[in-house]
């Protein structure tokens, strides 16, 4: 039997990923020189999967966003792209792809670099158990935060359903369900009969599990969540750990530059320019056509294609997306969106005075980032004037302009102009 089709849904609004959700879906962002989903495609090919159906929003369809990238790259897979015009949930997206799915299919998120490996385990389990559905579960110390697998008390190999964010102390298990599932075609009938809501997929999963042969596998491999923008830091570290230090032949690297890969690789990609007396400390990636000026200090960071770091600038544990730039400043634990331009003299505060964990407002709710080091996160085409300073955990939405000398103490909504 041929391997199942892989259905990847990337059509939502990604509202919790603001302000990095306006240019493309989060699964299509480039980390260490390559779109996240491209690594998933490579993993699928390595494990013998051939067919992929990709559901995307208008910003990534046709000649836009990632669809344009697919046309210019050969992934050696059969990839069908389907448009989800409105973000109406994963259940709706799945039904849009119905005619492209066969007897079994695997539904997955687009940001699993090891997708092929996990999909192979699901398919192997289905073949050995003759199950209708196979889920992946990962042990967690905080089941109250996730959708949690509910097992048959008489046979824990059988899944009865999924309980979303159970009350603490009343969790049915300590295994959270991963967003990768194997279904048979009959599941689509259950989904069609389920009332359309934002969570119709989860409701259909629970209903179908109770009437079908549903089992699971325990995932012991690390799966990086991408619920919030700051999760990109962990994903970068996971990706870069698989590389070794390398310098492209076309890169222009000063003889006085210093490289330290004791704690992770240092990678300098094609046509990058590394100035005099710069220091790069791994894990570190400098992308294609990037410029790192004289006396700059870069550590634990990813500079994507065409990013620019000016002379006498320190960049620490940060991600600079394509065509972003900073001159003569201090950028720590931060993410600069596509095309963000920062004038000379930026200082990012990345710790609270009391050193407590930093909380960031997401959809009008303060979310604990789980770390006490966090700088700024900007959307696309943000412009900051000279000598701007920012407080910890600040988000600056797309197309914002901040005038020279401003101290930014609050999140800045899209399109705003801040003056001193």
Task: Render pLDDT for 348-383 as a digit per residue (tens, 0 to 9).
Answer: 999 999 999 999 999 889 999 999 999 999 999 999
DSSP string, 330-394: EEES-EEPTT-EE-TT-EE--S-TT-PPPEEEETTEEEE-S-S---EEE-TT-EE-TT-EE-TTE
* pLDDT value of residue 63: 83
Q: Residue 308's pLDDT band (boundaries 50, 70, 90)?
A: very high
Distance CA 106, CA 112 (A): 13
In this prediction, residues 227-240 reach a mean pLDDT of: 94
- pLDDT (0 to 100) of residue 270: 98
| pLDDT of 1 | 63
What is the spatial distance between Cα 371 and Cα 299, in angstroms, rounded to a whole number? 18
**Rounded CA separation 34/244 (Å):** 16
Give residue 40's pLDDT: 93
Q: Look at residue 225 and tell me whether its pLDDT is greater than 80.
A: no
Helix %, strand %, coil % of the chain (to 5): 20, 30, 50
DSSP string, 70-119: HHTS--SSEEEEEE-SS---HHHHHHHTGGG--SEEEEE-TT-TTHHHHH
Q: How far is CA 346 from CA 265, 275, 306, 404, 407, in A?
A: 28, 20, 20, 10, 10
pLDDT higher than 90, residue 397: yes
Average pLDDT, the chain: 93
Phi first, then psi, for residue 44 (nearest 5°) are -60, -45
DSSP 8-state symbol, 257:
-
Looking at the predicted structure, is the pLDDT value of residue 41 above 70? Answer: yes
Q: Is the pLDDT of residue 180 over 70?
A: yes
> Where, residue-wise, is CATH 3.90.550.10 in the chain?
5-218
Task: State pLDDT tens for residues 51-92.
Answer: 999 999 898 888 888 888 888 787 889 999 999 988 777 888
**Segment 253-273 mean pLDDT:** 98
> Boundaries of CATH 2.160.10.10 in the chain?
243-418
- Between 72 and 261, the higher pLDDT residue: 261
Q: Residue 231: which pLDDT band, with cuts at 50, 70 and 90?
A: very high
**155 contacts: CB under 8 Å, gap ≥ 6:** none
Q: Which two tokens stand for residue 103?
A: 């007897």
The pTM is what? 0.91
**Closest C-alpha among 217, 296, 215, 224 to residue 253:** 296
Chain length of the chain = 420
Crossing angle for the helix pair 186-193 and 200-211, to the nearest 10 degrees: 130
142-146, 163-167, 292-296, 359-363 — which one is most confidently predicted on average?
292-296
* Residue listed under structure tokens 């001159």: 327
**Angle (CA) 91 180 333, round 5°:** 105
Token pair for residue 399? 């197309």
pLDDT reported for residue 70: 84
Say how many C-beta atoms besides its own lie within 10 A of residue 212's C-beta: 16
Percent of the chain surpassing pLDDT 70: 100
The CATH label, of 3.40.640.10, 3.90.180.10, 3.90.550.10, 3.90.1150.10, for the domain at 5-218 is 3.90.550.10
Q: Give 243-418's CATH code, choosing from 2.40.50.140, 1.10.490.10, 2.30.40.10, 2.160.10.10.
A: 2.160.10.10
- Within 13 Å and on the Cβ side, how many CA atoms surround 351? 5
Residue 161 reports pLDDT greater than 90: no
Contact 13, 113 (CB under 8 A): no
Q: What is the pLDDT of residue 251?
A: 98
The residue ranking higher by pLDDT, 69 or 308, is 308
Supply the Cα-derived Rg of the chain in whole angstroms.
22
């Amino acid at each position: 039997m041929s391997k199942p089709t892989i259905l990847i849904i990337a059509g939502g609004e990604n509202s919790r990923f603001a302000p990095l959700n306006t240019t493309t879906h989060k699964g299509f962002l480039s980390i260490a020189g390559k779109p996240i989903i491209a690594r998933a495609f490579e993993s699928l090919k390595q494990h013998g999967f051939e067919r992929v159906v990709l559901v995307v929003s208008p910003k990534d369809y046709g000649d836009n966003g990632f669809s344009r990238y697919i046309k210019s790259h050969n992934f050696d897979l059969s990839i069908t792209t389907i448009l989800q015009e409105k973000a109406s949930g994963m259940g709706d997206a799945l039904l849009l792809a119905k005619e492209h799915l066969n007897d079994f299919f695997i539904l997955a998120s687009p940001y699993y670099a090891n997708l092929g490996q996990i999909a192979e385990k699901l398919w192997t389990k289905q073949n050995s158990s003759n199950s209708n559905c196979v889920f992946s579960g990962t042990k967690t110390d905080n089941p109250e935060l996730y959708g949690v697998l509910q097992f048959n008390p008489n046979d824990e190999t059988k899944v009865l359903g999924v309980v979303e964010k159970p009350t603490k102390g009343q969790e049915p298990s300590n295994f959270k369900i991963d967003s990768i599932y194997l279904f048979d075609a009959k599941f689509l009938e259950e989904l069609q009969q389920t009332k359309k809501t934002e969570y119709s997929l989860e409701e259909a999963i629970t209903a179908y599990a109770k009437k079908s042969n549903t089992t699971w596998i325990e995932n012991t491999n690390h799966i990086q969540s991408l619920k919030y923008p700051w999760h990109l830091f962990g994903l970068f570290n996971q990706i870069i750990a698989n590389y070794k230090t390398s310098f492209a032949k076309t890169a222009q690297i000063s003889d006085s530059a210093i490289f330290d890969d004791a704690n992770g690789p240092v990678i300098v990609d094609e046509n990058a320019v590394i100035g005099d007396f710069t220091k790069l400390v791994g894990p570190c990636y400098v992308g294609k056509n990037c410029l790192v000026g004289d006396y700059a200090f870069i550590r634990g960071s990813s500079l994507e294609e065409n990013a620019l770091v000016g002379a006498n600038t320190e960049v620490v544990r940060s991600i600079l997306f394509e065509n972003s730039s900073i001159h003569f400043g201090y950028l720590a634990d931060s993410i600069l969106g596509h095309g963000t331009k920062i004038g000379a003299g930026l200082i990012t505060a990345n710790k609270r005075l009391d050193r407590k964990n930093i909380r960031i407002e997401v959809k009008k709710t303060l979310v604990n980032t789980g770390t006490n080091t966090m700088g700024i996160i900007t959307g696309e085409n943000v412009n900051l004037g000279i000598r701007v300073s920012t407080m910890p955990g600040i988000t600056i939405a797309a197309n914002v302009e901040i005038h020279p000398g401003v101290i930014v103490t609050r999140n800045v909504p899209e399109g705003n102009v801040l003056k001193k």
